[in-house]
Amino acid sequence: MKVVVGLGNPGEKYVKTRHNIGFMVVDKLVKEYRAVYAKNRFDATIHECFIEGEKVLFVKPQTFMNLSGEAVKKIIGKYGCQIDEILVVLDDSALPLGKIRVRGHGGSSGHKGLKSVMDCLGNAGFPRLKIGIGGCPSERKKEFVLSPFTDEEGDTIENALNKACKAIDVWFAKGITDCMNMFN
């Protein structure tokens, strides 16, 4: 089993914001794989499909960003998947706009949603895919991550979303090491 968790905030007000890029990736993957809506349970929206005979869940926690780990923990508990079968997709304000970075494990780098997942799972050994949303002064970070992408940034973000989906395709087929080698 594989689980792709896109981090973001629920609600129409946040749909196109920088902090919701994880949700945007999950939405593209759901369309790409024609994943079916499975349920809105465990404080998350869950779609599922089979890829090469393996069950895959596409998850968007509905707990708001800073509590994302609560939903992830419930899903992992229910489905019994291993820590390395989870891929968390999130925004990163330390990366240049549109750049992606894949890691097999690591720290939170101050990202509260990622920290929540780590804290709730009691483990930081899960893969993650970060997408650069551009930088901002630290005193304006909350305002920045909750702002929408500009029209001028649209093509760069669309390219990043496509590249992120290709990286996840490689993760499905070949694992995290090949994914990192190809996309970092």
Q: What are the residue boundaries of the structural domains of the chain, listed by start? A: 2-183
- Average pLDDT in the chain: 94
Is-contact 25 161, C-beta < 8 A? yes
Mean pLDDT of 152-178: 97
Query: What's the confidence (pLDDT) of residue 110?
Result: 86
Of the pLDDT bands very low, low, confident and very high (cuts 50, 70, 90), residue 136 is confident
Q: Is 19 a catalytic residue?
A: yes
pTM here?
0.95
**Helix (H), strand (E) counts: the chain:** 6, 7
Going by pLDDT thresholds of 50, 70 and 90, the confidence category of residue 38 is confident
Considering 19, 47, 105, 111, which one is annotated as catalytic?
19
Q: Please give the class, per CATH, of domain 2-183.
A: alpha beta
Q: Where are the extended beta strands (E) located within 109-165?
A: 128-132
* Cα distance between residue 62 and residue 93, in whole Å: 22
